């Protein structure tokens, strides 16, 4: 389904929110009734414009996964072939948006938030089952979450595109997210038996 990108985002968001609220150092900050911090899918600018604090989990890049692009299509029925989905890997920039007194950044809390994100996905690099959200709920999908090592130049280009100064952040790649075709399955007779044919090639023959 085309909703799977959003489902992947909602899944990571729910996993992180649960992790923050289970941590004694961050539970109060991310308690809806106390600190009110959130995990937002908005950019850092978007969070600040909305007056929110917490973690910006911004989807900033989508890449087609060529390694799984040519997998054999599935057959929902013997005479039907499912059109090939588009497999993509999604990349999230995770930036803590936390302020202290006089609306200034709070570096210690930012480092706590980033540290908890790293710990969460190091302990749970594969997300499946009851942790899935959105259109992934109740499916057998398994999302792999991998920390990316970006060079200073690569990460600086991201911040330049946001037209703001560099902030503490990390990037995660999540895959595989499959975008199913919106077209009907191809109808055709099933392959009953495969009959191989052999030939002998003669050098110089036309």
Q: Are 63 and 88 in contact (CB under 8 A)?
A: yes
Over residues 156-193, the pLDDT tens digits come to 999 998 888 889 999 999 988 888 777 766 666 666 66
Q: What's the pTM?
A: 0.82
Question: For the chain, what are the domain ranges?
Answer: 4-184
First to last CA, the chain: 50
Percent of the chain at pLDDT > 90 equals 57
Q: Are 91 and 59 in contact (CB under 8 A)?
A: yes
pLDDT digits (tens), the chain, 206 positions? 689 999 999 999 999 999 999 999 999 999 988 889 999 999 999 999 999 999 999 999 999 988 776 766 666 666 666 667 889 999 999 999 998 655 656 889 999 999 999 999 999 999 999 999 999 999 999 999 999 998 889 999 999 988 888 899 999 999 888 887 777 666 666 666 667 777 776 776 66
Q: Please identify which residue in the block is written with the tokens 């709070």.
A: 106
Q: Are 3 and 134 in contact (CB under 8 A)?
A: yes
Q: What are phi and psi of 171, to 5 degrees?
A: -120, 140
Element housing 112 (H / E): helix 107-123
């Amino acid at each position: 389904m085309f909703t799977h990108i959003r489902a992947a985002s909602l899944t990571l968001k729910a996993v992180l929110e649960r992790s923050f609220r289970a941590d004694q150092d961050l539970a109060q900050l991310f308690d809806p009734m106390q600190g009110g911090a959130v995990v937002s899918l908005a950019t850092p600018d978007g969070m600040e414009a909305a007056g929110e604090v917490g973690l910006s989990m911004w989807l900033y890049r989508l890449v087609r996964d060529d390694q799984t692009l040519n997998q054999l299509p599935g057959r929902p029925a013997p005479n039907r072939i499912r059109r090939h989905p588009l497999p993509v890997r999604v990349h999230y920039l995770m930036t803590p948006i936390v302020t202290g007194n006089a609306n200034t950044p709070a570096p210690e809390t930012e480092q706590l938030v980033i540290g908890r994100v790293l710990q969460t996905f190091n302990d749970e690099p594969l997300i499946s089952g009851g942790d899935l959200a959105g259109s992934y709920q109740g499916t057998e999908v398994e999302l792999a979450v991998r920390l990316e090592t970006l060079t200073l130049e690569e990460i600086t280009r991201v911040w330049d595109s946001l037209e703001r100064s560099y902030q503490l952040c990390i990037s995660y790649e999540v895959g595989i997210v499959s975008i199913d075709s919106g077209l009907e399955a191809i109808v055709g007779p099933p392959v009953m038996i495969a009959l191989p044919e052999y030939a002998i090639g003669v050098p110089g023959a036309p």
